[in-house]
C-alpha cells in the first residue's frame, strides 16, 4: 500500500531553522499536507502544497516539493520553543496517509 516516511526526531536551538523531511509513495496525490500535533491535542493543519508546485512560503514556513523524488520538506525559520511538537506529513485525497511523525524539540 501507499506509505509515508519521516525521521523520528529533530532537535534545534531557539532561533535556528528547522527542516523536517518526508518521502511518500502515492504519486497521484493532488495535495500534500503538514500537520502539527501538540501533546494531548488533535492535529492542526499547518500548511499544504499543490502537487504541481515546487515551493510554497507562508510566513516562517517554507514547503519544498520534489515530485520526481517524491520528497517533501518543511522548513521553519527562527524556530521558537512554542514550535516544539510532533509534525506529520500526509499525502492523499479523501483517505490521507500519514507518516509516523517527527518530534521537534526546541532548546532555549
Shortest Cβ 72–other proteins spacing (Å): 14
Shortest Cβ 13–other proteins spacing (Å): 25
Give the nearer residue to other proteins in terms of CB position, either 16 or 31. 31
Place of cell 502539527: 36
Give the nearer residue to other proteins in terms of CB position, either 42 or 108. 42
Give the nearer residue to other proteins in terms of CB position, either 11 or 17. 11
Binding site residues, other proteins, CB under 8 A: 4, 30-31, 33, 35, 41-45, 48, 88, 90, 93-101
DSSP string, 19-78: EEEEEE--TT-SEEEEEEE-TT--EEEEEEEETT-SEEEETTEEEEEETTTTEEEEEESS
What is the pairing mode between strands 31-37 and 97-98?
Answer: unpaired
Shortest Cβ 73–other proteins spacing (Å): 17
Amino acid at each position: 500500500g501507499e506509505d509515508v516516511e519521516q525521521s523520528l526526531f529533530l532537535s534545534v536551538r531557539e532561533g535556528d531553522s528547522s527542516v523536517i523531511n518526508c518521502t511518500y509513495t502515492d504519486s497521484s496525490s493532488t495535495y500534500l499536507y503538514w500537520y502539527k500535533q501538540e501533546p494531548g491535542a488533535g492535529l492542526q493543519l499547518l500548511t499544504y502544497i499543490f502537487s504541481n508546485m515546487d515551493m510554497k512560503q507562508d510566513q516562517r514556513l517554507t514547503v519544498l516539493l520534489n515530485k520526481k523524488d517524491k520528497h517533501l520538506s518543511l522548513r521553519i525559520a527562527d524556530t521558537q520553543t512554542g514550535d516544539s511538537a510532533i509534525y506529520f506529513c500526509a499525502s492523499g485525497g479523501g483517505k490521507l496517509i500519514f507518516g509516523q511523525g517527527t518530534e521537534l524539540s526546541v532548546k532555549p
